[in-house]
Amino acid sequence: MGRVEGTVAIVTGGGSAGMGRVTSLLLAKEGAKVVVGDINEAGAKDTAAQIVAAGGEAVAMCHDVASEEGWADIIKLTLDTYGRLDILDNNAAMFIAKPLMETTTEEFRRQNQVNVDGVFFGMKTAIPAMELSGGGSIVNISSGAGIVGFPAAGAYSSSKGAVRLITKSMALECAQSQNNIRVNSIHPGPILTPMLEQGMDDLGGGDEVRGMFEGMAPLGHLGEPLDIANGVLYLASDEAKYVTGAELAIDGGFIAQ
């Protein structure tokens, strides 16, 4: 307990019943005050209410990660409420399960707005706030599909590949600035979240589609949101004080193949 005691964290996509909510709850359990952002305001408020009910501190707001103005608003809320920012979990994402040749231009651009622009805006606005607090940790949620090709969702894969490399670039910029901010990425494999469930439905659903995703991981089953949340907690904590520019695969062996 207390691995991030005294810190303040922003979790995007924190209203989802998947990785965002579980990560928010875990960070709060370990001592962080959490600002829960989600385009689904009701979901964000529900996550914050669960944290408060468990004895933690949290606030929520409607937050569109694809909006630069929205990022200015959530940073302002964080500093006005808690006076500092130590952790940013860029978790919010969009997953459209379509082969690239069937993906529309609008779908391709929208996934990049959420998955790539959202991470860019998040880091650009959070870093000055973290510098005021003496440093911090940024965790960008990429994907195993951001390291290897994924034929069922080429646009998603390309966007997550961009997250992988923008993470490394920003890690180096922060290291050169000596601002005590670490930047790392997590690369989940197939994790059973509402987003993945929707993706499986988009591909036709049923046991065959689920079996395809389960079979992606040599361990033979889907991961759980807590598997990713534990990785975020590690990278956010002082246990990872010498870790920056790294990519942490939590994927059941998916990219080892």
Residue type (1 letter), 226: L
CA 149, CA 31: separation in Å to the nearest integer? 38
Three-state DSSP state, 75: helix
Phi, psi of 61 (to 5 degrees): -155, 155
Tokens of 146: 């951001």
CA 218, CA 203: separation in Å to the nearest integer? 22
Q: Identify whether the C-beta of residue 219 lies closer than 8 Å to the C-beta of residue 213.
A: no
For the chain, the 3-state helix, strand and coil shares in percent, each to the nearest 5, are 55, 15, 30
Three-state DSSP state, 47: helix
CA 193, CA 173: separation in Å to the nearest integer? 33
Whole-number Cα distances in Å, 66 to 60, 104, 120? 17, 19, 9
Which residue in the list 82, 156, 234, 242 is annotated as catalytic? 156
**Catalytic-residue membership of 156:** yes
Residue type (1 letter), 210: R
Active site (catalytic) residues: 156
